Chains A and B, each alone.
Chain A
């Protein structure tokens, strides 16, 4: 088993805390006027909540006055007035509260939407290499879990903290006005709380980062296992893999426990500090009173304000762990957003349009790992319209060539020319647009058959799609389905065979009209009769187009204009079928082996 860290992508170093906060706030800035409005609403609502009891008190005061005068002497009109005022104040403050929580939830969800959008767009700009080394499940975990944590925290915590800060500051000022000596009794709680929060933040932040990462690892593992579920079942390894999952699961549970049980020490401890403050006020106040420095009235109103002061602080300290976990979750999203993108186009690069299809490689060296070269000093030349076949034993570097031609990876040294220009001088987009490609691993998305075929050509008509399907010999099969071209296919569904998937991707490539074509084992899972017919269609399609064909069935490639025989990353022989057969070399022995 690889180390736990391998699944989460350990290359990503966590950034400092401030930057995650800054970047989350940056997202919020898009809604700054709204947030400001909600803040004002929330403050007004809070004032309303304070005014309500005041009116109630006045109403009771009136009743008390009347009570003293005797039965029937209460000024009911005045009471009515006060209760109506009270109702108005309360109702408007409740409506404001609703508006704020509704509005902030909206803002938070939109921020989450924006983050998901950014992540997706980022993924689209990342090099293929990233996806070869990062679990889909881990990336999905960032989108579903981490962003959700951030948005939950935004929707409730931001306004609460901001309004609390105002209340805290207001009450502190009031406390200072009431009695400076009493303030001195409790003022120690402020620096102690701040220091403690900073200390705790240092301890818990890494724990929360670990928590997010552990979830990512667990989700990465689960995603991989669900994808390979059939294989696991086939070998009856359910228990073994459940046991392995248990490791990730308990790791995640443990990380959660560590982070949250530590984080949740925060609230009660801050509470204790402010309770100490209260005790100090009680003791100090009493002593000061006995010494005649403060009056009893001062003490009681001071206590009232100190409750208003410590209440919000306690509330903040109770949600501070949510903020830590949101920051840690945000960090993981930003790590992804900070990954290097595909090499950007050179400044002086041009669009590759009306490409003739002349392709050549000149002394290309390449390896996926720095110390392991796959292609050594690789050179070839293809004239426009030629069919270039690439043959050789598996692992010889054939698919790697395709990766380079499409610029999924960049060469380590050497050059590749398209239409006599080094291909890095074209924009990446325009270069890829000039290739149609059918790969070994078919890829279909969940959608109708029609949409899957028309994928490369946005405005494809029904006739075009059908004629492509006919050429790819998949039309009859599609018509047998009850919904025909509107049948929905699923990535993991049992309703379509691998060979049929290959035919669908061939139909897709046929619609995608380009001057260069890549077929990498495009028909390997298709039966030979069908393949032969598809080949015919492909050949007519390839007329006048430069094509690169990788295949093991030598019957597929013996008509190629030029055959590159590759072994261990070197071109060992090249020429036409006839020439190579005459040489009686490596190609000959490969060809002969199919009759053994």
Chain B
């Protein structure tokens, strides 16, 4: 709720204007029956037709005024809701896109998506409804209570005794409702996750003929969500009728006690009648209030989920001590250790002391313009080095510096601008190839073309009908694995980065293309520091230094020749891979 109020506050004037217009509209609406009564009770007996017509015209005028005021008020309310929901969504998007790897892992992708799609919508409808509901209900409630108290305090006492009960019901139900709706949204996350899993994995599901199994799995999640949703709806169905029930009992008490007091000669019967009218007003007010609270319960569960994302602290430079020494070292890893899941909510998967270190005590130095090859078995921590270097995750021990400055001392952007990176599971966006390479950086057209050339992508691009304007399908479905990888490399090269990181970026390329690509990069980007993670010895053998890893540890470091001499595992791998031309 804090979130909604915070944003309402930002637009307090606009919200107040909408509320005031609504107030005027409501008043003019209430005016109509009074005019009608006036005509029937006061004017008709006098028999003057012109006066009847005059007041009749008044009614028309009031009806028109009422319509315009209400339309205007609705429009303003919708406008405010539209501004506020735009701002909340924008803030949510901007925050989500900035989450660090750890933070992102903790929320999980499907949950972030459903916060964006479903929760932001719940908040938007609440903002709109609150502006129109907040007027009528309190007005009727407060007005009714005041007038009733003035009329006969003893009868009004019945009312006053009941109010705390009503408040208690509202508070109790909304206290119950918020966690229920939080749970509904959490189960929606699961539904969204399964949808996504099946959409992205449709080929595997179909290939293994697991459609029925998946359907059953989905039904389970769907049923669970529905059951929870029904629970929440059941709780939400309680307060309206229950409060009405209390009020109606109060009404009966008013009639009975009223009659008793009439019998005692303390009040006139007319007072009871008037009381009934005001009681009705109060009932309507209370019902309106309960609707407001129900809306709030649902919205605040969602608002809280959005708030959770928004209040994540961004990791900003830790030590701002600038030690710009003009160092010749592009990248330095100094006794770095790291394990995934530290500080994450998913402790159970990495429980306690047994947790495997993804990296332990890794040290190396790359001088500017030099290159480093990283090689080692699957899951040995190669990609983790990139994750830490680019500050997606924080090392547990040791320090990492780029250009002689600790990575934590950089402003995040400043740090990342130095890199051109191709990830193992990098992504082609649904956009033109040109845009996929340029990636919104507005590098020159020449740079895009050169990058495509160096990445060996020019050939296939020029064969496409639309060339660089070829539209990639969702997640690059209309490109082959190798084509995608070449686009990634072109993207990484386009802005002429200081440090180029290629994480297994040629796994889907044939040897020749791979070799040509490396040659082109070497020739056209001689000053670029290169970090290359690969499976093939042939890819890394020409690097200045090679880091051989196993199980998070460094088991060999040096040039190809040195490693052939000193590192048994490297030598073995080399023999297997290189074979010979038979």
Contacts and interface: CB of A to CB of B under 8 A. Distances in A.
Q: Which 4 A-B pairs have the closest CB atoms?
A: A394-B482, A499-B378, A593-B512, A275-B63
A481 B356 contact: yes
A101 B241 contact: yes
A90 B354 contact: no
Interface string A240-258: 1110111001101110110
Interface centre among A275, A368, A439, A529 (most CB of B within 10 A): A275
A271 B70 contact: yes
Interface string A541-581: 00000000000111100000000000000000000000001
A232 interface: yes
Contacts of B264: 71-72
A488 interface: yes
A436 to B, nearest CB: 8
Contacts of A593: 510-512, 515
Given A2-B431, A113-B226, A128-B206, A283 B53 contact: yes
Contact of A86 (B202, B252, B376, B511): B252
Contact of B90 (A133, A242, A512): A242
Contacts of A296: 40, 44
B474 A268 contact: no
Given A94-B241, A529-B573, A237 B218 contact: no
Given A91-B248, A233-B392, A286 B198 contact: no
A498 B421 contact: no
Nearest to A433: B209
Contact of A1 (B52, B205, B413, B431): B431
Interface centre among B412, B475, B478 (most CB of A within 10 A): B475
B471 A76 contact: no
A269 interface: yes
Interface string A93-124: 01101100110011001101100110011011
Interface in B49-77: 49, 52-53, 55-56, 59-60, 62-64, 66-68, 70-71, 74-75
A439 B340 CA distance: 27
A475 to B, nearest CB: 13
B201 A443 contact: yes
Contact of B268 (A67, A500, A552): A67
Given A66-B263, A529-B573, A120 B349 contact: no
Given A120-B195, A231-B427, A271-B67, A492 B43 contact: no
Interface stretch (B109-117, B146-154, B158-166, B397-405): B109-117
B205 A124 contact: yes
15 contacts: A60-B272, A82-B255, A105-B234, A140-B117, A230-B101, A233-B390, A242-B97, A244-B440, A245-B97, A269-B71, A394-B485, A445-B201, A505-B204, A529-B572, A590-B511
B32 A275 contact: yes
A446 B193 contact: yes
Nearest to B43: A286
Interface stretch (B359-367, B523-531, B574-582): B574-582
Given A137-B113, A249-B86, A406 B74 contact: no
Contact of B230 (A2, A105, A282): A105
A199 interface: no
Interface string A494-525: 11111110110100000010000000010011
A323 B71 CA distance: 18
Contacts of B273: 60
A526 interface: yes
A273 to B, nearest CB: 8
B566 interface: no
A285 B75 contact: no
B139 to A, nearest CB: 18
A140 B460 CA distance: 34
A590 B255 contact: no
A236 B417 contact: yes
Interface in B502-547: 504, 507-513, 515, 535-538
Given A124-B198, A286-B40, A394-B460, 17 more contacts: A87-B252, A97-B244, A120-B215, A133-B477, A226-B113, A241-B97, A269-B71, A276-B63, A282-B55, A282-B56, A299-B40, A300-B40, A303-B36, A368-B478, A481-B356, A493-B340, A494-B340
Contact of B75 (A6, A228, A264): A264
A233 B98 contact: yes
A219 B171 CA distance: 34
Interface stretch (A18-26, A142-150, A353-361, A412-420): A142-150
A263 to B, nearest CB: 9
B562 interface: no
A398 B417 CA distance: 36
Contacts of A462: none
Contacts of B507: 521, 524-525, 552
B94 A238 contact: yes
B513 A393 contact: yes
Interface stretch (A27-35, A51-59, A463-471): A51-59
Contacts of B515: 593-594, 596
B29 to A, nearest CB: 8
Contacts of B222: 113, 116-117, 120
B564 interface: no
Contacts of B208: 432, 436-437, 455-456, 512
B192 interface: yes
A447 to B, nearest CB: 9
A596 B85 CA distance: 59
A267 to B, nearest CB: 7
Contact of B439 (A120, A237, A429, A525): A237
A279 interface: yes
Contact of A482 (B105, B117, B350, B412): B350
A64 B205 CA distance: 78
A188 interface: no
Interface string B230-254: 1001101110111011001101100
A266 to B, nearest CB: 9
Given A134-B474, A282-B56, A226 B98 contact: no
B273 to A, nearest CB: 6
Contacts of A56: 251, 255, 276
A306 to B, nearest CB: 10
A257 B226 CA distance: 30
Contact of B79 (A63, A261, A276): A261
Contacts of B511: 552, 554, 590, 593-594, 596
B207 A83 contact: no
Contacts of A286: 39-40, 43-44, 49, 52, 56
A123 B481 contact: no
B70 A267 contact: yes
Interface centre among B193, B207, B244, B245 (most CB of A within 10 A): B207
B211 to A, nearest CB: 4
A74 B259 contact: yes
Interface string B480-513: 1111011000010001000000001001111111
Contacts of A406: 203, 206-207
Contacts of A528: 535-537, 573, 576-577
B377 A525 contact: no
A253 B86 contact: yes
A135 B356 CA distance: 37
B441 A432 contact: no
A569 B259 CA distance: 96
A253 B67 contact: no
Contact of B209 (A6, A432, A530): A432
A492 to B, nearest CB: 4
A132 interface: yes
A402 to B, nearest CB: 9
B105 A113 contact: no
B237 A101 contact: yes
B378 A71 contact: no
A62 B269 CA distance: 9
A590 B430 CA distance: 32
A296 B71 CA distance: 35
